[in-house]
Chains A and B, each alone.
Chain A
Amino acid sequence: MTDQSTDSPIEKARSPFSEAWEMFRGNYAAMAGLGVLILIVVGAVFGPILYPTDPFDMVWAPFSPPGQDGFLFGTDYLGRDLLAQILNGGRVTLIIGLSAAILTIIIGVTVGALAGFYGGIIEEFLMRITEFFQVLPTLLFSMVIVALFGASLPMITLAIGLVSWTAVARITRAEFLRVRELEYVLASRASGASNMALMFGVILPNALPPIIVQSALMVGSAILFEAGLSFLGLTDPNITSWGQIIGSNRQYILESSFTVTIRGLAIFTTVLAISLVGDGLNDALNPKLRKR
């Protein structure tokens, strides 16, 4: 269905979206990542409905190996079904990853846009704040936030978002510095656009591609971050997530490694898939790479 140029003599201008999709589709690694990602998301969304075992229920003897006694992934040190845990934990992990990435974008784009657009003293001030957040060890800082304000789901999300927005802010600022000097921005300013309209209506849409790529990668790093936090026990004890399962089964890794490895592989696969998709997006949205 891609032969729109053959039936009409005039080649229709294609939307940037379809062009990017064409480029993305040609990238096998990115398509494989997208496929795996869709599989994981479907599993996390519909898994707990199709497999309604309570992840906190003691269903069998502890340390039952995978595949035996009717438990696909076996049971953990309290005899809880690990398949139910991984399906329910995937939900939490993906929600945290996604909402932390959204929070990161909101903070980062706002700071970067203000700094890049206004320049001068506002830029200096905002970029010094960004650098302040950049020199703090991220995991340590978020551990402090979670430990001080309680380990609830919103607080973990806030902690992850608060320590990882600096990269988005710097990229947004760099793009704004580049785009604000272009002619069409001058043209809209001449036709009376306000600063706000210029910032978010004219410059931001044109600065978006690198921000989209960065935020796709942000979801992956947020998932890793959440895994690290909950591995250390800084998580809501009433919610199961992948890192938490690994952390609570950590003492038994030598006797029954399957309690830890399958979860670790799940995190690894998810983050790898997200990274591949982000890489593919980078290739697809970067016009310099397109006509090769």
Chain B
Amino acid sequence: MLLTDEEKRMQAGDYGPGIQRAMDLLVKLGDSFDAERLVPISYGHISYDFCPEKFWDLMTEGVGKTRHRVTTHPSYSPELWKEWGLLLADQWAGEHERKLKRYKELGWLRTETCAEYLLGIVPRKGDIVSMGGSCMQVANNSLFGARVDRMGILVSLAAAVCGRTPLMGLLLPENRYASHMVELDDLDVSDWTLSHYHCLGYYIGDQVPGFKPVVVNGLPANLPFDFARALVISMPTSGSVTLAHVVGTTPEAPTLEAALGGKKPEHLIRVGKREMTQTWERLNVWDNDRVEHVVFGCPHATIDEIGRVAALVEGKTIKTSLLIGASAPVEALARRQGWAECIEKAGGHFLPVCPSITNPFTRRDIAGDNQAKSAATDSARSAHYLATVSGVKVFFGTEEECINAAITGTWKGEIPKWK
């Protein structure tokens, strides 16, 4: 890879051991993908809580305040976890606090969310952003037209430390045209909700090998933002799709031809009632109908989503634990609306955590013997990680079915009757 003189000094250790190690990782990764050079990032996004402490210390050793903006992924709240009776919360406190202290020293922003675009941190079309978190990678690429390559949590820290990323993959315009095309066969989407789009995205992600860009054709134009988001963020759960064009909705897909770059698609994926039913069934992993936990906010909740949940639980007492994953600024807005209090009064909680991978209620290594053994969600991404990472039984259904489960403690969700 061609490096500038400055980058050679970084690699040689002139700027300290952290930057040297980070450069080594970026160069090895770039070389393995035949990247020509590194390019500067508009901003970087990392996760300090997901990053193993030893790796965090190695990469940030000797690093001073960076000139470029760096933001962070959802974070842990061990003090609140403890307050809520999650028995092993203390074990998470020390490492979290040490890394957070260092994070603040670096001058980086405590956004603590997987949906920064809800905070006004929105990349412009063509901006190069390095980030961990496949959910925001695919959202920023697809919904805003930013140039974001698929990247892991460790590599995103190296890129944030160096302010650079290898010029490869989806940063190259010629790699952004869709090779895989999705056509809806016999589906009327007029009554679809968020979970229907989650389910469709989860099916598509499973059908696409590698991280080939996808175009979804046949959905109504100008799809509401929340639906488009649910569709694209579910894909890198069952697969690795990092860029999904939605014809008539996303910025690089004004037309099908534009998304395909004037070429014919290499593969056609057809989705009909049968595929949707099978996917919906696959996301449900349970044997009896007892629900112990309900979770929203994967990806982090919008203010509208919180408003709907508040309206459904108002004046009720819920039987399960209820968690809403949301950033602190969106939670603050919900509080000003009176919605946060309404949800808390019913028994719900807010956290800026990843409610799927690190849901403190379902993770045995956080909740201890108070672990919830089953959870309901309207997010395919959440369903996937609750089942695989927490190992609990999972109910996947609509927002309304999940709220009903919270109120009754029983699952009455049904496979949708596709139109």
- A, B in one complex: no
B-to-A contact residues, CB < 8 Å: none
